Amino acid sequence: MKVVIYGTGPTALVFYHEVLTNGGMEIVAFCCAEKDISEDNYCEKPLVPFENIISKFPPDEYEMLPMFGHKRMRDRLEAHNAVKNLGYRIPNYISSKANVEDGVVWGEGNVVYSFSHIGFGCTFGNGNIIRQQVYVGHQGKIGSFNIIAPAVTIGGKCIINDLSFIGLNATIATYAELGTECLIGAGSLVTKYAEPYSVSFGSPAKAFRYHNDTGVMF
C-alpha cells in the first residue's frame, strides 16, 4: 500500500522511523497545512500542502494516515474527519513485531508499534496509537483516537473510551474504565475508574484537574 502521512510533528517522525525499521507500509509523501510548510521535503519524502494533496496523490491511488500527537488531542479526531471527507481510505498499521491474538476487531487508522501485545477479542475504534511494549489484555474495548504511551499495561476486559492519553508505564487494572478524554499520568495505577475529562495520576490514580472545554492538551 502507498500511503501519505498527514502530519510533520514528533508523532509522524516517530512513526516514520518505526516503518523504516520494521517495514509493512510504503510511505510515499507527507502533508500538512500550507502555512506550516517551509521546505519541499520531510524525511526525504515530498512534503505537500494538505490543501493540494488530492491533485498530487489522489485517493483512488493512495491511502492517507493522519499522525497527529497529543498537543491537542481533539486535533486527532478533526484530522481523521478531514481525511475521510477528501475520500481517502485510512489504513491500520500493525507492526510485524507486535503480537496480536485472535478475534481482534480493528476500525481504521490504528497504529500498533513493535513489541506490543493485543489480547484475544479486543475491539478498537479508529485512530488509536499504541506505542512500544504496551500490553492490552483480552477482550478490551478501546474506543477512538487514544494515545497509549510505551510500556503501559491494560488488564483484561478494560474499557478505554475516546481521546484519552495514557502516560508512560501506567497500569489500568483488569475491568477498569477510563471516561472519555482522560489524561493518565506516567506510572499511575487506575484501579477502577478515571473520571471523564480528568487529569488523574498516582497509585491509586486520583483526579487533580479537569479540561472539559479543551480536552487533553500538553
Ligand X SMILES: CC(C)(COP(=O)(O)OP(=O)(O)OC[C@H]1O[C@@H](n2cnc3c(N)ncnc32)[C@H](O)[C@@H]1OP(=O)(O)O)[C@@H](O)C(=O)NCCC(=O)NCCS
- Count of residues in the chain: 218
For the sheet with 153-154, list strands across it: 99-100, 117-118, 135-136, 153-154, 171-172, 189-190
Environment class of residue 51 by beta-carbon count within 10 Å: exposed (0-12), middle (13-18) or buried (19+)? Answer: exposed
Residue of 187, 189, 195, 207 that binds ligand X (CB under 6 A): 187
For position 183 contacting ligand X by CB under 6 A, the verdict is: yes
Mark 110-149 with x for binding to ligand X (rule: CB under 6 A) and - for no binding: ---------------------------------------x
Burial label, 40 (beta-carbon count in 10 A; 0-12, 13-18, 19+) = exposed
Interacting residue with ligand X among 143, 167, 179, 215 (CB under 6 A): 167
Distance of closest approach, residue 23 Cβ to ligand X, in angstroms: 23
Rank residues 87 and 202 by Cβ distance to ligand X and give the closer one: 202
DSSP designation for 50 = G
**Residue 197 sits in the site that holds ligand X (CB under 6 A):** no
Residue linked to cell 510515499: 28
Q: Is 15 in the site for ligand X (CB under 6 A)?
A: no
Q: How far is the CB of 125 from ligand X (least distance, A)?
A: 21
Between 82 and 189, name the residue whose CB sits nearer to ligand X. Answer: 189
Give kind and range of the element (H or E) at residue 11: helix 10-22
Interacting residue with ligand X among 58, 87, 202, 204 (CB under 6 A): 202
Contact call for residue 73 and ligand X (CB under 6 A): no
Q: Is 2 helix (H, G, I), strand (E, B) or coil?
A: strand
